Structure 1
Amino acid sequence: MKTSVLLLVCGMSAVGMVHAKQCQIERLTSSQLNLNASYLSQAATSFSVACESRYAIKFNTRNLVNSTGSSYVVNEKNHKLKTQMNINGATSLRWNVPIAQPASPQEKFVVLVQLAERPSAMTPAGVYRDSLYVNLMF
């Protein structure tokens, strides 16, 4: 069985209002997270936000199940494996909810994904994927 688990950081967007001060996402460590095909394997990426004023940040995944970060990766035949996503650096840990943040010249965020389901010999081989989206609103 050859199983590969992949989480793509597909979208990072910044949406500014008219006359908003500058905000930007910087120093992304990885745009692709690779998990081993073993129970509780982990992968992480980090990035910084530099913003001259208060802003909100929202974390989401294509396959998000709830606001506590439960998600799943899926292969081309629609077989799913559960994952758990975690956020470090935000003032709240809720997913798919804008999180108010204070102005900062450099605030570091870390997103960690963990395989929360044990693959077995019966788990279909393939590449399993999910996509992570980070939206910055200022």
Structure 2
Amino acid sequence: MNIKYLLGLAGLVIAASGHAQQCQIDRMSSSQLQLNATSQTRSALSFKVNCDLKYAIQFRTRNAEGVSGRSYLTNGRLGRLQTQMNISGGSGSRWGTPMTQSGSDQYIVTVQLIERPNAMTPAGDYTDDLYISLIF
């Protein structure tokens, strides 16, 4: 069984302003978070945001279940496996809500498989999508 999160970097949204402002995401450690098919397995990715001024960053997943970071992997049919995602870095760990930041920040996103696959778990590739939006 293959379990993975696919990272989708949402397009950068540029707020209208009277001066040029630069903001970028770099030093991305990976474009995928891969999990083994065992309970409590974890995976992480890190990246750095560099901005001239204040910016807002928002983390969300396709299968989010609220703002706590709880989500699930699905095989596109009947299979679902619960996960817990966490954000460290910046000034908070809220999902689905833009967080105002300033300057440069290092972020680490971790995902942990909460529900262990068993003999009744349908076979297949289980995925979810992680979206990171940067607004400046």
Q: Same fold (TM over 0.5)?
A: yes
Q: Write the mapping of 1:26-105 to structure 2, written as runs, cut at 5 A.
A: 26-104=26-104
Unaligned ranges ≥5, structure 2:
none
TM-score normalised according to structure 1 size? 0.92
Matched, 1:10 2:15: no
Identity percentage of aligned residues:
47
Q: What is the rounded CA distance, in whole Å, between the counterparts of 2:97 and 2:11 in structure 1? A: 15
After TM superposition, give the deviation of residue 11 of structure 1 in Å.
Answer: 2.1
Give the ranges of 4+ consecutive aligned residues of structure 1 lying more than 6 Å apart after TM superposition. none
Which residue of structure 1 lines up, in the alignment, with residue 124 of structure 2? 126
Q: What is the rounded CA distance, in whole Å, between the counterparts of 1:69 and 1:90 in structure 2? A: 16
After TM superposition, give the deviation of residue 73 of structure 1 in Å.
Answer: 0.3
After TM superposition, give the deviation of residue 12 of structure 1 in Å.
Answer: 3.7
Instruction: Please state whether the residue corresponding to 1:93 is helix, strand or coil.
Output: coil
RMSD over aligned CA atoms reads 1.1
Q: What is the rounded CA distance, in whole Å, between the counterparts of 1:120 and 1:136 in structure 2? A: 38
Unaligned ranges ≥5, structure 1:
none
Once the two structures are superposed, residues 56-75 of structure 1 have per-residue CA deviations (whole angstroms, 9 ceiling, x without a partner) of 10000000001010000000
